[in-house]
Structure 1
Amino acid sequence: LARHRRPATRGTLIAAVAWLLCSALGLQVSGVPIAADRTASALAIQARRVQDTLRDEADFRKVARVDAFGDTPGSQLVPDLRGKDMIFTFIESYGRSAIEDPVMAPGVDRTLAARTEALAKSGFHAKSGWLTSATYGGSSWLGHSTTLSGLWIDNQQRYRTVMASDRMSLTEAFRRTGDWDTVGVMPGVQKAWPEQKFYGLDTVRNAFQLGYKGPKFSWSTMPDQYALEAFQRLEHGRKRDRPLMSEVILTSSHQPWAPIPKMVDWDEIGDGSVFEGIEKAGNRASDIITSEPRSRAEYGRSIQYSVTALTQWLQRYGTDDTVLVFLGDHQPIARVSGENASRDVPVSIVAKDPKVLEKVAGWGWSDGLRPAHDAPVWKMSAFRDRFLTAYGSTPHPRKG
């Protein structure tokens, strides 16, 4: 309407005349007046939403055009991570409630403590903090894009705007250096994914390109353990002339949290058929979603599974040059996290090289995989620039 004012004005006048005629003649459809007050109210509400959307889009475009690292040459991006295999991993619905809720926290906290200790024995150490997600209970792509773009993307319009822009994502920064191969492992993607370009990924492995022959686990197309083993077989374990930067999305902790996979021997994973018995013996989704207590308990178990699978993979395949950054994309739905829960999610950086963690020592993050209750809380959109700065990137602002 804003772009085509003349026909929009003409159409509005015609609609107004039609409205008055319908009102004067008392015309109805199935006993409901065409020119009813409720229709007028609904139209007014929708008109205000359109105005708000247009205003938000205009404001967001202005913000998105300003980028502290928009014109930074590749040679000046993340120089302190040269030679490292970088892995950015999102764990579905991994929220603060998993760590602090009295029902879920005991099991999850035991897992985080045990996995911190196990990683330390393998030479890996971690720092952890909190990020406030741009979304809650779903729409994971808003959390992913907010983290990696450095912009607050809390609605679909903003998401479409930034995906169509030349804004540099955090993963794209590694591609721009020319020193990394880049790959995405997306077991939740089952159709064309044009976002690949925005995220700077040379290769994307979707749900149909990971070789899985086992059963689905409710929404999740495959267990996290299988997705990680396939990542190792197809990409991470390949001989390369340069290091690898990977974006990995883990989906086993997606609602309804039934059935939940169990860990199997890594050498027995094969094509995933080994998970058939586990899936058949698991809970049915219909038995879980109708019970809040069971939903909360099973959600906690799913987070324990995902964290265990990821950290065991790191122990098994990580090297002195592996750096893992993993975080939640959003809190689980209110039935699990509570009506007044925050939007905070945990975030961790794990590495063997002590210099990697020394670079973020000033952040005030907690040691280990469990962020302390009073650890710093940043907006998720702040992570990109803080990360780029910590690892030596030189700002070259772009201002439109």
Structure 2
Amino acid sequence: MPFITQLRQLLAKGTNRRRRRAVTSALAAVLVFGALVLPDDLLRLTPGAFVRIPVEGIAGAALLLLLPPRPRRVVAVLAGAGLGLMTLLDLLNMGFRAVLVRPFDPVLDWGLFGDAASFLDDSAGRTGAIAAVVGAVLVALALPVLMALAVLRLSHVLARHSSLATRGTLVLGTAWLVSAALGLQLAGAPLASRTTAEHLDDRAQQVRTSLADERVFAAEAATDPFGSTPPDQLLNGLRGKDVIFTFIESYGRSAIDDPGIGPGVDKVLADGTEQLRRAGFTARSGWLTSSTAGGGSWLAHSTFLSGLWINNQQRYRTVTSSDRMSLTRAFRRTGAWRTVGIMPGVSRSWPEARFYGLDTVYDSRTLGYHGPKFSWSRMPDQYSLSAFERLQHGKRGGKPLMSEIILTSSHNPWAPLPKMLGWGRVGDGSVYRAVEAAGKDPKDVWQDAARVRTEYGRAIQYSLHSLLSYVEKYGRKNTVLVFLGDHQPVPTVTGEHAGRDVPVAIVAHDPAVLRRISDWGWQPGLRPGPKTPVWRMDTFRDRFLTAYGPRSGSAHKGKK
């Protein structure tokens, strides 16, 4: 009896060991197969994407079957680690496409992770940000290791069952060739997959392009049609005016054209146009195509003000550390304006102020705000404008004022939102504590895409209302306002096929200011029409300097 019991225990152990090996091998096969056919876009992440035959897996199996034991193990580990890294890049591409509407650049985008961590800190709190960063680091470290172990495990299975594995590889190879030749598809995707090879080729091409881009951009940036213009020939048509350039975060074309969002925004623009008309102001509006979408506001700001297409971090660093004359810097260069920046989203040293030609910069630390943050936005737009009036615009005497103002209340995640108060109630911002406490939680809003779109529309309405109410109340006869969106919001709001256009408008009390742009073809009022011209954002600087320079009548023939 003891012998029989021991025999049963040994058989049970052997069976359990075989089961564990089988389960481990199956999990390894699922992990490797999933990585080989994984798309790099969340929109293509469907069940049909995983019903495919990956040619890389067939070629890899054939190679491992041909190799002797030691080289086979080395190749399996290296191939697995490489596949793990490719999978990480696919995951990064998913995230970048979902937020910035473009793939991850393996050369230029590493610096954006610090900004992402800061955004999480501001939006989800320090604990949530730390948890997300730790989780991301663990995944980045674990995935190449797990993939290497998985491929190594499968190589052992192939070696133990080489005859069956050889026949299976030949069958799958033949099926792949037939599917490729006939163009067979399943759920809109080719049955014969070469996803990993295509992604690797895309990454290689992207690296080559990014490395070459620095030389191309340096040559482009060195040519400035206004770089040598004498100061007394710059901005003559605006002398004596207080000029305000305002960027509204995430104010994209979808805020106007989308039937689910547009009606509320349209009402604010229509009411604002009428309110400004009664106050003696007129407006013209158009469209600009931004260099970014979903995020990266600083890229759009520098594109608009530099007259160069800034669509990556390398270009941004290059131009902001150069002597290129930005549009705002042109005002300072004339000596006829004092220049000020209102930057509520800046919370640390900001050396770019020199490039933008700003004599004085007020950021989140110096605007005197004593209220709560509204998720990422450190203060409501109405407070930023109220502080601008108190600190600079409301002070009489001296030179006219040129200001660059960033409004942040419409920044993702659009919850909680502030609300309009009487201008006399704003004070130091303490009044917003009750407003913030009564607002919505971002986590609740982002559980439903329809709710995200609704809150985005409300955020844009608030930002517009704050700005237009400010001009109505504090604008003077010498006030000129140029305001625009920096980029479209994330695809959760816009959908898959939205463009990158943003609205832009010029508001002035003096009719002569708008007569200077009469040949631009812009729409009267604050809402650009569907047939209003669309220009690339980098063309605006030269058009503006031409319109308000000595040659006052013809638009600059810039880049299309």
Normalising by structure 1, we get a TM-score of 0.89
Q: Please state if 1:32 is matched with 2:77.
A: yes
Deviation at 1:34, TM superposition (A): 6.7
Distance 1:363 1:35 in 2: 57
Letter in 2 for 1:32: V
What residue number does 1:224 align with?
381
Of 425, 440, 444, which residue of structure 2 is paired with 1:283?
A: 440
Structure 2 equivalent of residue 54 of structure 1: 211
Q: In the aligned structure 1, how far is the partner of 2:528 from the partner of 2:205?
A: 41
Q: How many residues align?
A: 372
Choose which of 254, 259, 278 in structure 2 pairs with 1:102.
259
Q: Which has the higher contact order (CA 8 A, sep 6+)?
A: 1
Letter in 1 for 2:530: H
Cα pair 1:138 1:333 within 8 Å, conserved: yes
1:330 is aligned with what amino acid? H
**Alpha carbons 1:72, 1:394 under 8 Å: kept:** no
Letter in 1 for 2:424: D
Q: 1:97 touches 1:331 (CA, 8 Å); kept in 2?
A: yes
Question: Superposition RMSD on alpha carbons, in Å?
Answer: 2.0
Structure 2 counterpart SS, 1:349:
strand
1:365-384 CA-to-partner distances (Å, cap 9, x unmatched) read 01111001110100000000
Name the stretch that deviates more: 179-188 or 239-248. Answer: 239-248
Residue 328 of structure 1 and its aligned partner are, at CA, apart by 0.1
Provide the residue aligned with 2:304 in structure 1: 147
Q: 1:322 and 2:479 equivalent? A: yes
CA contact (8 A) 1:323 1:349 kept: yes
- Say whether 1:353 aligns with 2:510: yes
**In the TM superposition, what is the alpha-carbon distance from 1:33 to its structure 2 partner?**
3.2
- The 5 A counterparts of 1:52-91 are 52-91=209-248
Aligned amino acid, residue 414 of structure 2: W
Where do residues 246-285 of structure 1 align in structure 2 (5 Å cutoff)?
Answer: 246-285=403-442
The separation in 2 between residues aligned to 1:128 and 1:277, in whole angstroms, is: 36
How has the CA–CA distance of structure 1 residues 91 and 37 changed in structure 2, closer, same or farther, with 3 Å as cutoff? closer
Q: Which residue of 1 aligns with 2:286?
A: 129
Q: Deviations over 1:127-178 (max 9, x none)?
A: 0000000000100001100000000111111111111111100000000000
The alpha carbon displacement at 1:35 in A equals 8.4
1:299-378 pair list within 5 angstroms: 299-378=456-535
Cα pair distance change 1:110/1:51, threshold 3 Å? same
Deviation, structure 1 residue 26 = 5.1
Q: Over residues 352-398 of structure 1, what are the superposed CA-to-partner deviations in whole Å (9 max), with x where a residue is unaligned?
A: 00000111111010111100111010000000000000002569xxx
Aligned counterparts of 2:252 and 2:203: Cα–Cα separation in 1: 33
Post-superposition shift, 1:315? 1.1
Shift of 1:321: 0.2
Preserved contact between residue 27 and residue 34 of structure 1 (Cα < 8 Å): no
Q: What is the CA distance between 1:236 and its match in structure 2? A: 1.1
Question: Within 2, Cα distance between the matches of 1:224 and 1:70?
Answer: 34
For 2:450 and 2:382, how far apart are their aligned partners in 1?
26
Tell me the CA shift for residue 316 of structure 1: 1.2
Residue 191, structure 1, aligned to residue 236, structure 2: no
Cα offset, 1:27, TM superposition? 5.7
1:295 aligns with 2:452: yes
| Counterpart Cα distance in 2 of 1:361 and 1:148 | 21
1:42-68 C-alpha deviation (Å, 9 max, x unpaired):
987655443221211111111111111
Q: Equivalents in 2 of 1:365, 1:49: separation in Å? A: 37
- C-alpha spacing 1:161/1:335, structure 2 compared with 1 (3 Å): same
Counterparts of 2:243 and 2:536, CA distance in 1:
22
Give 1:288's aligned amino acid. V
Q: How far 1:310 moved relative to its partner?
A: 0.4
Q: Kindly indicate whether the alpha-carbon contact (under 8 Å) linking 1:76 and 1:394 is maintained by their aligned counterparts in 2.
A: no
Alpha-carbon distance in structure 1 between the residues aligned to 2:361 and 2:446: 32
Determine if contact 1:26/1:33 at 8 Å carries over to the other structure.
no
Whole-angstrom distance in 1 between the partners of 2:479 and 2:544: 16
**Is the 1:130–1:344 Cα contact (8 Å) retained in structure 2?**
yes
Equivalent residue for 2:274? 117
With over 3 angstroms needed to count, the CA separation of the structure-2 counterparts of 1:57 and 1:394, relative to structure 1, is farther
Supply the distance in 2 between the matched residues of 1:346 and 1:66 (Cα, whole angstroms).
Answer: 28
> Does the CA contact (< 8 Å) of 1:78 and 1:388 recur in 2?
yes
- Partners of 1:182 and 1:246 within 8 A in 2: yes
Give the gaps of 5 or more residues in structure 1. Answer: 1-22, 396-400
Tell me the residue number matched to 2:361.
Answer: 204
Partner-residue secondary structure (3-state), 1:90? strand
Question: Is residue 380 of structure 1 aligned with residue 425 of structure 2?
Answer: no
Q: Alignment partner of 1:260: what SS?
A: coil
Q: State the AA in 1 paired with 2:481.
A: L
Q: 1:277 offset after TM fit, Å?
A: 1.0
- What code does the residue aligned with 1:308 have? H
User: Aligned to 1:233, which of 373, 376, 390?
Assistant: 390
SS in structure 2 at match of 1:326: strand
C-alpha distance in 2, partners of 1:149/1:202?
18
Change (3 A) 1:202 1:394: farther
Name stretches of at least 5 consecutive residues in structure 2 with no aligned partner: 1-68, 87-196, 553-560
1:240 Cα deviation from its structure 2 partner: 3.4
1:309 and 1:301, CA in 2 relative to 1: closer, same or farther beyond 3 A? same
2:498 counterpart SS class: coil
Specify the SS of the correspondent of 1:80: helix
